[in-house]
């Protein structure tokens, strides 16, 4: 139990550290990879909490997700390679305020909510897998389907925005 808590803390600090690196660096690639490692550290926290499936899934999905993010980065950024030492932050005042409020809200929830007694033992990985499957197909189905469709819509919309329309291409050609 002590070892588990220690590893939890270690990976938690790693996740926060990499999250800080995301904004400290001036290269998009470093930023994206730091985000990936931050999320992978969260996956490692799941593993430390004996949630094997969730941990492995998180570690896998975040690598793929980072790839998708990079594709959109290339589509939308003026400087996708980050060669121009671009600034990673913008709207500083607003984001500082949002960050502080968010941190207090998270801490408030963490300390004020009644979490109940921690479970003495976690169910075996197989049982967890079964439980997750049943939950996905019953109680949480609507949530996940809604989230999935929303993300898909956003991706289609983003692609549609990034792709040049025929008329825009023609106008550009006319100008040239």
Q: Are 85 and 28 in contact (CB under 8 A)?
A: no
Give whichever of 33 and 88 is closer to another protein, judged by the CB atom. Answer: 33
Buried b (16+ CB within 10 A) or exposed e, 58-86: bbeebeeebeeebeebeeeeeebebeeee
Q: Are 37 and 25 in contact (CB under 8 A)?
A: no
Q: Does 108 bind another protein (CB under 8 A)?
A: no
Measured between alpha carbons, how far apart are the two ends of the chain, in Å?
Answer: 69
At residue 22, the 3 state secondary structure works out as helix
111-130: which residues touch another protein (CB under 8 A)? 124-126, 129
Q: Are 41 and 14 in contact (CB under 8 A)?
A: yes
Q: Does 159 bind another protein (CB under 8 A)?
A: no
Q: Does 21 bind another protein (CB under 8 A)?
A: no
Q: Does 33 bind another protein (CB under 8 A)?
A: yes
Number of residues near another protein (by CB under 8 A): 24
Give whichever of 103 and 145 is closer to another protein, judged by the CB atom. Answer: 145
Tell me which of 30, 49, 88, 158 binds another protein, using CB under 8 A.
Answer: 30
Q: Which stretches of the chain bind another protein, using CB under 8 A?
A: 27, 29-30, 33, 36, 52-53, 56-57, 59-60, 63-64, 66-68, 70-71, 74, 81, 124-126, 129
């Amino acid at each position: 139990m002590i070892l588990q808590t220690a590893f939890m803390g270690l990976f938690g600090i790693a996740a926060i550290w990499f999250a800080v690196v995301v904004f400290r660096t001036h290269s998009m690639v470093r930023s994206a990879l730091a985000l990936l490692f931050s999320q992978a550290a969260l996956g490692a926290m799941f593993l430390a909490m004996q949630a094997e499936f969730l941990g492995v899934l998180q570690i896998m999905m975040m690598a793929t997700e980072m790839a998708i993010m990079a594709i959109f980065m290339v589509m939308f950024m003026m400087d996708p390679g980050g060669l121009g030492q671009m600034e990673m932050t913008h709207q500083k005042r607003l984001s500082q305020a949002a960050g502080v409020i968010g941190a207090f809200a998270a801490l408030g929830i963490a300390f004020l909510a009644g979490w109940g007694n921690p479970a003495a033992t976690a169910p075996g990985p197989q049982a967890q897998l079964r439980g997750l499957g049943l939950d996905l197909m019953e109680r949480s189905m609507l949530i996940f389907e809604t989230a999935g469709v929303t993300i898909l819509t956003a991706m289609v919309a983003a692609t549609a925005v990034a792709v040049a329309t025929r008329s825009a291409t023609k106008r550009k050609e006319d100008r040239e």
